[in-house]
Amino acid sequence: MNIIKPPYTGDPTLDSWTNQITQALNMGLLLPGIQGQTGGVGSAGPTGNTAIYLYQRTTVNTAPSRPTTVVYDYTDIDNVTITANNGWLGEVPTTGGKYLWITFRYVSNLEDTITNANTWNTVVLLSEDGNDGAPAPRSLYRRVYYSSSSGAPSSPTATVTWATLVLSGLTTGWSETAPTASATSTTLVYFSDLIFTDDTGVATTGSSTGSTPIEGTSFSGIVTFNSGSFSLDGSTITSIDGGNISTGTITSNEIATGTITANQIATGTITAASGVIGSLSATDITTGTITIARLPGIGVAGSTTVNSNTSTTANITVSFSGVNVGSSMMAVITGTFGQSTASTVLTITPTGSGVTLAHTQTTGGFVVENASAVNGTPYTHVITATATASSGTLGFTLSKNNSGNLYYKVANSLLTFKA
């Protein structure tokens, strides 16, 4: 006799239990509460080659009565139907209580009606769900608003329905919608915060009295501040943090101290009658023209261009003057080179006066293959330095390793940055 395993339910405990029952029955073992396999009484009796399992949940730990009428149909294994009375089902119920019970019996026919309750196995407890945890505490915050031309109102009260989180009974005159105040209006806008709490987690409603009303206005139009302080989290603040003051004009007789910092001064003109703006820091100045002479960070700039030749060495430098001591400097040489002797090796070495060079390491070391500098491959070298005097030179020395002439067509550019 082969017992068909009951359908997979997805419940690990139940599926493990029913699987063990099926395996035991297939091995011919007798389990507690299971009818013997001998002494069959026909198709409606307790014997056969198919096992039918019935399930039921209850809210109390008392076994339910066995079914007295069960109609089953196994003719289509993909569409098995089982109908039973006394609250029994052919599949594991998901509702009905924490106690899950099981009973079963064997049948020989694939389709039949069983009306003998005593042919069903003794009902046993298959599993018991754990108890539900205690409800968690909960809270709700709401800000309400009041418009007044006759002084501050009293703190409002309201009730919340926890199932919908809808407020009711809000004190007359208060609203959950923030008004927009005109800058020329004499009406003031106040706000108050309501905090509702339910420590039990099961209350139907909750009541709250709002915080002391505070004057707070959202503006349209031109606004003038005569007195008072800005506050954040109960502390006075002295600045307005605006992501983007995008239009209009800010006029001041004197922006006396500090720094104007702008992520983007997009359009228009900044004019300073005194000619002094302490510090302007801009992430992105997107339009217009910047004149180098007007930027305090940029110092002396210069360049020299040479198209010549030498049989020894050549110094290609740019002179500077009026530089602040400690200023950063940078020189860049670029050019083409030629030679009159085969396999001439050219080297370029930083040089200067009135400066401390970042390094004096010779660069280059490449073989000059062209007969002249006109069509040669261009090379570029850079050196940085720090000014130790207000005037001096910065550039490079060109040298070669053998006799003959070295032809060069180069440009050397110098840029300084004020200390």
Split at pLDDT 50, 70, 90, the class of 392 is: very high
pLDDT of 92 > 70? The answer is yes
From the list 13, 30, 84, 29, the residue with the least C-alpha distance to 52 is 84
Q: Which amino acid is at 380?
A: T
Give residue 33's Cα distance to chain centre.
59
Task: Note the residue count of the chain.
Answer: 419
Q: Measured between alpha carbons, how far is 332 from 354 in angstroms, rounded to an integer?
A: 18
Structure tokens at 387: 């000014």
pLDDT of 280 > 60? The answer is no
The string of DSSP letters for 372-406 reads SSSSSPPEEEEEEEEESSSSEEEEEEEEESSSS-E
Q: Which amino acid is at 338?
A: G
Q: pTM of the predicted model, to two decimals?
A: 0.33
**In angstroms, what CA-CA distances link 321 with 247, 327, 353, 355, 363?**
44, 12, 11, 12, 27
CB atoms within 10 A of CB 315: 15
Structure tokens at 410: 């180069």
Residue 294's pLDDT is: 42
Q: Measured between alpha carbons, how far is 71 from 53 in angstroms, rounded to an integer?
A: 13
Split at pLDDT 50, 70, 90, the class of 43 is: very low
From the list 301, 314, 312, 311, the residue with the least C-alpha distance to 409 is 314
Look up residue 132 and give its DSSP letter: P
| pLDDT, tens digit, 9 for 90 and up, residues 198-231 | 999 999 999 999 999 998 865 555 555 555 566 6
For tokens 């239009």, what's the residue?
247
Residue 34's pLDDT is: 35
Residue 306's pLDDT is: 82
Range name among 50-54, 79-83, 190-194, 365-369 with the lowest pLDDT average:
365-369
Mean pLDDT of 90-108: 92
Look up residue 234 and give its DSSP letter: T
Please, what are the domains in the chain? 12-128 (no CATH), 138-220 (no CATH), 298-417 (2.60.120)
pLDDT of 241 > 70? The answer is no
Split at pLDDT 50, 70, 90, the class of 146 is: very high
Look up residue 164 and give its DSSP letter: T
From the list 341, 336, 342, the residue with the least C-alpha distance to 398 is 336
Residue 196's pLDDT is: 96
For tokens 């968690």, what's the residue?
136
Q: Measured between alpha carbons, how far is 265 from 246 in angstroms, rounded to an integer?
A: 9
